[in-house]
Structure 1
Amino acid sequence: MTDLVREAGTRGAPASSLRDRERAALAGSGHLQVAIRRSTDNMDGRWRGLRESLPGAEELREAARSLRSAAITRLPELLGQLADNVEAAGGRVFFAADADEATGYITELAQRRGATRAVKAKSMVTEEIQLNARLAEVGVTAVETDLGEWAQQLDGEPPAHILGPALHKTQADWVRVLRPEGYEGGEDPDAMCAFARRTLRPRFLDADLGITGVNLAVASTGTLVMVTNEGNGRLTSGAPPVHVAVMGMERVVADWPEVDLLLALLGRAGSGVNFPTYVNCLTGPRRESELDGPEELHLVIVDNGRSKILGSPSQEALNCIRCGACLNACPVFRQIGGHAYGDVYSGPIGAVIVPLLSDGNHELSHASSLCGACWEACPVKIPLHELLLEGRAQHAGSERALWRAWARAWSSPRAFALTGAPAGLRPPQALVPPPFREWAKGRTLPRREGSTFRTRWARGEVLD
């Protein structure tokens, strides 16, 4: 499965098909499924429990949906307001049309500063634009400092989950990954965390650049809000002399009341806690009177296909707050894992937005049972099952042509008669036209008992 894993996180259509990646994920002894189920059961179960105990949970979800939809509708206005306020606070803002512009700006900044070392907090959008690879091209070594992201980086894998990048790994996997870095302990999580702390702490102090994502950007004040489950976000944004914050352009919110509601739901839906462990609110770089913080703050706002979604039937996909709840609830994700999706975004939300952001991966909309569990789990009530159907409809031209061809064939009595299976065959796979044989796999096709109606008619066995 190694080659398929390495494909994940690339933009455009992967070399292999979704079917191939699914088969690779399902092969073996069920190790992957057991590891994923253990983590997703815990997160999904805690979120379900909190929804049941939270007064007015459905009203809060509906309010969050309304606020996110309103913000996306006002996106150009809010982004302009955000940029003005970030710059007023001493930061610099760059609007990147695509991944090349975003990584180009950051690599030029690194070269201008003479940077050779960078530390990174967990950021899906930097995975999306493949920032680490671009930094390596100009001689900058970027180290992931989120514990799960670091394990994935050491193992040569992209993240497998929006919230838990390495949730598919067992404790034995962790030992295998950390051993080459000097870890000599066993499978005790505390010992491994202590080792990671000792190893990563000097990286923060030696880094020339600190690169983070942005969970929410407050347009009214120019404040960047980052949510983490570890303290690495604060060290990444505060210790190095230059802080580069990279955000998808949809992550902007209007004001603090919206932040308050979304953070309350993000913590509950993502980690099953009443409030996130670490919430960092940054407004500009270090001021003259302050003792710590970066000398420079650069905010890179990334489009990379998002503007194409505005005004489309799938616009509500931009409401996503990247909590990962839909992945935890999805029966497909729980079986095949994140890498089988072939992109950095996986699960139901990935199956929706990846085909919208890029020109390939249209088959991802079929990686769903359409059971609606994702919609029930989503804290901002994105109708993901409906958007998946919309994705199927948008890219069903070839399928429509095949079904029309079949319909024309069956409109001919002779062609229809030729497709009648001899009695007793199950399943009659050989008689299914080639384009549909893949569809027929895994399905029990009907078995006819006795002679066909036409045969019986010719024998005179059919009475008026």
Structure 2
Amino acid sequence: MDRNPVTWLGSPAFPTAAKSALADDQLRRNLRHATGLIRTKRAHAVAELPDWEELRLAGEAIKDSVLANLDTYLEQLEESVTARGGIVHWAVDAAEANAIVLRLAKEAGADEVVKVKSMTTAEIGLNEALAAGGVEAIETDLAELIVQLGDDRPSHILVPAIHKNRTEIRDIFKARMPNTAELTDSPPELAEAARKYLRQKFLSAKVAVSGANFAVASTGSVVVVESEGNGRMCLTLPDTLITVMGIEKIVPAWQDLEVFLQLLPRSSTAERMNPYTSVWSGVTPGDGPRNFHLILLDNGRTSTLADRVGRQALRCIRCSACLNVCPVYERTGGQAYGSVYPGPIGAILTPQLGGDMHDKHAASLPYASSLCGACFEVCPVRIDIPSVLVHLRADAVAAKSRFSPEAISMAAMSWVMAGPKRFHIAQRLATAGRLLSRDGKIRKLPYPGSQWTQSRDLPAPAKESFSAWWKRTRG
């Protein structure tokens, strides 16, 4: 299993992975169609609320208040969950969280668990860890099921199978599901095939595993929002329910939850409210699971909290709005990011939670997004994604050796620009670059200049520098 499951084992740096994605015309068509539809629907849903900006500001303020007092709210949540018959576990990293889930599943006598769609369990590589321990995890979210049956990787936070069209989904179902020989690519037929396949899983499962969208500290209530109802089946039928939750998912009280139940559906599925909002507080005799376990996961979050610029990423409510407006994501798809968190927010979260800017893959991700600002404009909790990306780029540069080609070239340029005579000589020499240009642009340079021209054009130098022009005309 990957040392840091938030990233996929052996993932190449983003530029390398992006080249393959750009060559896949079908992928690009699927993404362009899907993100365009979601983007348009979201704009209409948001426009219905005259106080949308006030809601964004409220969401930002609530999240920042929680982060500033996280220790207090975590202790309050633990007390509230325990008072209602739940058991709270603390996990410092992915390995510890996975070990707890596996132990609890074994104690319940389960060799199979059903799962609610959860980015957090994907972050820690839970499915792989359970499989290594002899327990099979069954994804019940339709898109997650498609990815799982296709031995594939998710490419979107909200719609993991967004890169698949219905014909591809039919082929996956026919290959992996029983009694599907006559299955067509009609969406109702595909949904019915998945429903029949999952029904027996729900009825026989002893253990369910969920993530959490929110947890209310004052009452110990855990909240999951979803669109299909499969999550509701997981949260009510099995005897044991295990929830794995990032420690940043807390809200202080019920009135705070109301803000996010307006922000999240409009930003994610472009709906006024979620079709299924499930809330449970501990254990209720005669209703739902008989055992409830809440695993509070750190996995890099406290170190992120210590970063005064980067900590705002912990406001993220996993709505995916930033992905749907990002031109880089639309052209390359989620798998090019090599992480369970794709897109602009993934370019931040993956280095933060995976945690090592000396790794080429992690260091490449802050550059895997434009700085156009569209992501900030749609973020329901006002994460300034461009600013955090620039901050992480600085971290990536600082992690490089002083003797890297980039560091040497920057030091040389600094030396040249520090002396007026050296600078003017360099300007005159630069005009020779016009010999390599065509139509005012240089499209190909030898190494190390090729690192620039392999992905963008270089404007040809002017015939005359500004200082030379000034000296000639005003001197």
Normalised by the length of structure 2, the TM-score is 0.88
Aligned residues of 1:7 and 1:343 also touching (Cα < 8 A): no
Alignment of structure 1 residues 12-161 onto 2, 5 Å: 14-28=10-24, 30-161=25-156
In 1: Cα distance, 2:5 partner to 2:95 partner:
15
- Give the letter aligned to residue 95 of structure 2: D
| Matched residue, 2:403 | none
Q: Pick from 433, 448, 457: which aligns with 1:444?
A: 457
Query: Is the 8 Å Cα contact of residues 241 and 295 (structure 1) preserved in structure 2?
Result: yes
Tell which deviates more after alignment, 173-182 or 116-125.
173-182
How many angstroms does 1:45 deviate by? 1.2
Cα distance, 1:111 vs. partner? 2.1
**Residue type of the partner of 1:265?**
L
Aligned partner of 1:372 in structure 2 is 373
TM-aligned CA deviation for residue 365 of structure 1: 0.8
Summarize deviations over 1:406-445 as a string: whole Å, max 9, x none: 333676588877765365322657766x344212334332
Q: Specify the SS of the correspondent of 1:66.
A: helix
Q: Deviations over 1:220-278 (max 9, x none)?
A: 00000000111111111211111001111100110001111101110111111100110
The answer (yes or no) to whether the contact 1:94–1:300 under 8 Å persists in 2 is yes
Structure 2 residue 196 is matched with structure 1 residue 198: yes
Letter paired with 2:411? R
Q: Which amino acid aligns with 1:444?
A: D
Contact 2:112 2:137 in 1 (8 A): yes
The answer on 1:319 being equivalent to 2:330 is no
1:118 touches 1:211 (CA, 8 Å); kept in 2?
yes
Contact kept? 2:242, 2:292, Cα under 8 Å:
yes
Q: In structure 2, what is the equivalent of residue 281 of structure 1? A: 279
Q: How many angstroms does 1:59 deviate by?
A: 1.0
Q: Which secondary structure state, in structure 2, belongs to the residue aligned with residue 344 of structure 1?
A: coil
Distance across 2 between alignment mates of 1:271 and 1:175: 24
Secondary structure, counterpart of 2:312 in structure 1: helix
| Amino acid paired to 1:110 | A
Partners of 1:12 and 1:189 lie apart in 2 by 30
Match for residue 424 of structure 1?
A: 435
Alignment of 1:206-225 (within 5 A): 206-225=204-223
**1:260 matches 2:263:** no
- Structure 1 Cα separation of the partners of residues 8 and 144 of structure 2: 23
Contact 2:31–2:333 (CA under 8 A) maintained in structure 1: yes
Q: Secondary structure at the match of 1:282?
A: strand
Percentage of matched positions with identical amino acids: 37
Distance 1:451 1:58, change over 3 A: closer
State the Cα distance separating 1:402 from its structure 2 match.
Answer: 3.2
Task: Give the aligned residue type for 2:415.
Answer: R
Counterpart AA for 1:105: I
- Cα deviation, residue 285, structure 1: 2.2
* Aligned-partner Cα distance in 2 for 1:416–1:207: 72
The yes-or-no answer on 1:384 pairing with 2:385 is yes
Maintained 8 Å contact 2:445/2:453:
no
Q: Secondary structure at the match of 1:396?
A: helix
Q: Which residue of 334, 341, 344 corresponds with 1:345?
A: 341
Counterparts of 2:474 and 2:289, CA distance in 1 = 91
Native 8 Å contact 1:267 1:275 kept in 2: yes
Counterpart secondary structure, 1:162: coil
Classify the secondary structure of the residue corresponding to 2:208. Answer: strand
Distance 2:370 2:204 in 1: 48
CA deviation after TM superposition for structure 1 residue 449, in Å: 7.7
Find the aligned partners of 2:462 and 2:368 in 1 and give their Cα distance.
Answer: 35
Deviation for aligned residue 1:159: 1.7
> Does residue 165 of the first structure (1) align with residue 172 of the second (2)?
no
One-letter amino acid of the structure 1 residue matched with residue 159 of structure 2: G
Q: Which amino acid aligns with 1:425?
A: L
Structure 1 letter corresponding to 2:414: A
CA distance 1:446–1:225, shift in 2 (3 Å)? closer
CA distance in 1, matches of 2:461, 2:162: 47
3-state SS of 1:104 partner: helix
2:413 counterpart residue number? 406
How far off its partner does 1:114 sit? 2.3
Distance 1:378 1:198 in 2: 37
Q: The residue matched to 2:198 in structure 1 has which SS? A: helix
CA shift, 1:447, in A, is 3.5
**Contact (CA 8 Å) 1:7, 1:14: kept in 2 or not?**
no
| Count of aligned positions | 450
Structure 2 CA distance, aligned partners of 1:345 and 1:53? 29
CA distance in 1, matches of 2:385, 2:462: 42
Root-mean-square deviation over aligned CA pairs: 2.7
Structure 1 distance, partners of 2:465, 2:64, is: 56
**Is 1:216–1:251's contact at 8 Å kept on the other side of the alignment?**
yes
